[in-house]
Amino acid sequence: MCKRLYLCSDMVTITDIATALGITPSTVSRALAGNPRVKEDTRRAVEEKAREMGYEPNVVASNLRKGQSRIVGIVVPRIHREFFSNVIGGAENVLNQAGYNVLICQTLESAEAEVKALRTLKNYRVAGVLLSHAINSLSGNHVREILGTTPLVQFDRVFPDLPGAKIVGANCEGAFQATMHLISERYRRIGTIAGYMSSQAYVERLAGYRLALESAGIPYDPSIVYENAIVRETGYEAGLKAIEAGCDALYSAGAFSALGAIDALKEKGIRVPEDFGVVGTSNEGFTSLMTPSLSTLGQHPFEMGEAAARAFLAGSSGTEVIPMELIVRQSSKRSNNG
């Protein structure tokens, strides 16, 4: 019925190869593993037979025996966010080259889903975990308790109290720069869509914003700090409030929330950037395509992913800071009649 008999039985084992060759599984294992303690002839014979029989190694068995796997788990809030999918891309890039595969979990910003994902990864005895926690996530202690001794690299959204490698953006410096830019463009009442204060990244951005104001002699006004989820809808609401509050600019700690704010401004007939300046955060693809194009504090997600992967591979436990880069586009650039 079936021409290539070997391929059909599907699950060829090293024992099958061994018996076919009249040798033992150990030798086959060694030959296939590139162990030098095996005759050149034998190795060739084994390799040929393996190919002929369509052998594919069973990494499950191999992992069990070796007590380790070549899978790295990546846990992110949502994979369809460009920022995160690029982080994943960068990490995968480095990890694949090092012989690792990647198991991706998304938490959809749910703390319970995060716990479940971490537990699942632990149960697979993954070699390590790269984590960016859900916005309202549990404490660092809890993560550590689930993960036990599994190596952990945190990125972007990190628990500062949790030991181990961390890759973070230069949030404070970046927000400082973004806010200074708005000031230098002669905006004077600058509010901020600050994000969730449960996450260190947003705390730092707020700090940078505040620092910029104060260094320019502008008093910090908590009434125009909008602590919100950084999605389009909440950005829209913050935009409305900022208008009410007499703001003429907003620094948003997110990109989609900046978009929402611009929705509100357009709706109210307020011109951007002439009457109102907006700078967002994260260089999502749409930011350069919308009208007015959105000035934004670009992160380097691909590099962040690469850095996280390298930190895992190196077993590092330090904190690496990835610079941010202010990309000035239309939404914050007043015409030059200064």
- Where along the sequence are the contacts to its own copies (CB under 8 A)? 7-8, 10, 54, 56-61, 63-64, 69, 71, 78-80, 82, 85-86, 88-89, 92, 101-106, 119-120, 122-125, 145, 148-149, 259, 285-286, 289-291
Radius of gyration of the chain (CA): 26
Interface with DNA, residue 8, by CB under 7 A: no
Task: Tell me the backbone φ, ψ of residue 178, rounded to 5 degrees.
Answer: -60, -45
Task: Closer to its own copies by CB, 103 or 216: give it.
Answer: 103
Task: Closer to its own copies by CB, 124 or 214: give it.
Answer: 124
Task: Closer to its own copies by CB, 149 or 337: give it.
Answer: 149
Structural element, H or E, at residue 211? helix 200-215
Question: In the window 57-116, what residues touch DNA (CB under 7 A)?
Answer: 57-58, 61-62, 64-67
CA distance 233 to 226: 13
Task: Closer to its own copies by CB, 210 or 300: give it.
Answer: 300
Tell me 273's DSSP state: T
Q: Are 296 and 279 in contact (CB under 8 A)?
A: yes
Task: Tell me the backbone φ, ψ of residue 64, rounded to 5 degrees.
Answer: -60, -50
Residue 7 contact, options its own copies, DNA, none, Cβ 5-8 Å cut-off depending on partner type: its own copies
Tell me 31's DSSP state: H
Task: Closer to its own copies by CB, 136 or 291: give it.
Answer: 291
Beta bridge partners of 165: 153
Question: In the window 270-309, what residues touch DNA (CB under 7 A)?
Answer: none
The total number of residues written for the chain in this structure: 338
By the 10 Å C-beta count (0-12 exposed, 13-18 middle, 19+ buried), 168 is classed as buried
Residue 32 contact, options DNA, its own copies, none, Cβ 5-8 Å cut-off depending on partner type: DNA
Residue 54 CB, nearest approach to its own copies (Å):
8
Residue 14 contact, options DNA, its own copies, none, Cβ 5-8 Å cut-off depending on partner type: DNA
Interface with DNA, residue 10, by CB under 7 A: no
Question: Three-class SS of residue 10?
Answer: coil
Span interacting with DNA, options 8-16, 127-135, 265-273, 298-306, rule CB under 7 A:
8-16
Structural element, H or E, at residue 128? strand 128-131
Q: Are 224 and 245 in contact (CB under 8 A)?
A: yes
Residue 315 CB, nearest approach to its own copies (Å):
17
Residue 15 contact, options DNA, its own copies, none, Cβ 5-8 Å cut-off depending on partner type: DNA
Interface with DNA, residue 49, by CB under 7 A: no
Q: Out of 36, 219, 222, 285, which residue is the one contacting DNA (CB under 7 A)?
A: 36
Task: Closer to its own copies by CB, 24 or 124: give it.
Answer: 124
Residue 2 CB, nearest approach to DNA (Å):
19
Q: Out of 5, 9, 39, 215, which residue is the one contacting DNA (CB under 7 A)?
A: 39
Q: Are 259 and 231 in contact (CB under 8 A)?
A: no
CA distance 278 to 296: 8
For the residues of 228-241, what is the DSSP string, one character each? ---SHHHHHHHHHH
Q: Are 91 and 308 in contact (CB under 8 A)?
A: yes
By the 10 Å C-beta count (0-12 exposed, 13-18 middle, 19+ buried), 193 is classed as buried
Q: Which residues bind DNA (CB under 7 A)?
A: 11, 13-15, 22-27, 29-30, 32-33, 36-39, 41-42, 57-58, 61-62, 64-67
